[in-house]
Amino acid sequence: MKNIAVIGAGTMGNGIAHVFAQNGYQVNLIDISQVSLDRGMATIGKNLDRMVVKEKISARAKETTLNNINTFISVAKGVAGIDLVVEAATENLELKLKIFKELDELCADKTILATNTSSISITQIAAVTSRPEKVIGMHFMNPVPIMKLVEIIRGYSTSDETTKIIMTLSKALGKTPTEVNDYPGFVANRILMPMINEAIETLFTGVAGVQEIDTVMKLGMAHPMGPLQLADFIGLDVCLSILNVMHDGFKNPKYAPCPLLVNMVMAEKLGIKSGEGFYDYSQSRKAETVAKQFS
């Protein structure tokens, strides 16, 4: 398994392509937008430059990594002769089902189809293909080149062979694969998102301010960043989408998104990506200034 295709050149997609390429795999990075591909490759280049400056890799290793990546705007051309496809498109069910139907038609029978979804059912995605035993979740963490965990999610029909191949492959990337079963939110987001949602609820009900909530969790619970800062980093639209998936899947009110989160997403205050969330990022990407008075 040496030839990998990654669908989507956004934050997660370019990070996944980076990691595979840095570990000697030939990677086809695919996106319908040439602008997104150019931006994704520029991000990979900048991240590799940081690694060179920190003496984690050599300048030659950087060039080799970049040479291992080819870009495509044609899915058909990009997945020809590929052993594994990792889909990293927007967290939208209809889009993912459309992509997997297309991949199933275009890819060779041997090709394993993986999705980087953080919450959507692997079983539901696999059901639109003719190879459900070869469909699996590979949920990388952001930022992909740094974070060690990969959640490996087995759908109802995912085979033992497919799971073993992907577990072994993840280890070859220097990651720690952790196998979980296919239920809404899997493990990472089933635990993380209710915590973030409760932090937003705590702010919404006026118990404490943004910096106070984050300070309590950072200094009291030894979290590297507070839940509201983390929500901004993830993207408030992504947080809302995941909570909705879990609320729909479990029908449990504890997963219902806080009204403040819903309103902020409607107002397009999405965190770092939009320049404002719980913090103001107009001057710096660091969470230094609270965006507004939340009360």
pLDDT class for 133, splitting at 50, 70, 90? very high
Does 254 have pLDDT greater than 70?
yes
**Known catalytic residues?**
118, 139, 151, 189
- Which segment of 127-131, 161-165, 231-235, 291-295 scores lowest on mean pLDDT? 291-295
User: Contact, 137 vs 186, CB < 8 A?
Assistant: yes
> Using CA atoms, how far apart are residues 160 and 143, in angstroms rounded to an integer?
29
What are the structural domain ranges in the chain? 3-181, 189-290
**Model confidence at 179, in pLDDT bands (50, 70, 90)?**
very high
What is the pLDDT at residue 148? 97
**Statement: residue 270 has pLDDT above 80:** yes
- Torsion, Cα of 167, 163, 195, 213 (10° steps): 20
The rounded distance, in Å, linking the Cα atoms of 150 and 15 is 13
Return the CATH number of 189-290, one of 1.10.1040.50, 3.30.300.30, 3.30.420.40, 1.10.3720.10: 1.10.1040.50
What average pLDDT is seen over the chain?
96
3-state secondary structure of 259: helix
pLDDT for the residue 49: 97
CATH number assigned to the domain with residue range 3-181, chosen from the 4 options 3.40.50.1460, 3.40.50.920, 3.40.50.720, 1.10.10.10: 3.40.50.720
* Percent of the chain surpassing pLDDT 70: 100
Looking at the chain, the number of H-run helices and the number of E-run strands are 13, 10
Using CA atoms, how far apart are residues 207 and 294, in angstroms rounded to an integer?
A: 11
Check residue 50 and give its pLDDT: 96
Q: List Cβ neighbours of 202 (8 Å cut-off, separation of 6 or more).
A: 208, 213
Say what the pLDDT of residue 295 is.
Answer: 67
How much is the average pLDDT of 122-144? Answer: 97
**pLDDT above 90 for 26:** yes
Whether 203 has a pLDDT exceeding 70, the answer reads yes
Tell whether pTM > 0.85: yes
Mean local confidence (pLDDT), 13-17: 98
Residue with tokens 């990979």: 44
Beta bridge partners of residue 3, listed in sequence order: 26
pLDDT range class, residue 239, cuts 50, 70, 90: very high
CB of 211 closer than 8 Å to CB of 218: no
Distance CA 268, CA 262 (A): 10
In this structure, the number of other CB atoms found within 10 A of the CB of residue 32 comes to: 14
Identify the three-state secondary structure at position 278: coil
Task: For residue range 82-91, list pLDDT tens digits in order.
Answer: 999 999 998 8
Q: Which pLDDT band holds residue 140 (cuts at 50, 70, 90)?
A: very high
Confirm whether 3-181 and 189-290 share one CATH topology.
no
> Residue 57 pLDDT > 70, yes or no?
yes
- Assess contact for 13 and 144: CB atoms under 8 A: no
Region 139-143 average pLDDT: 96
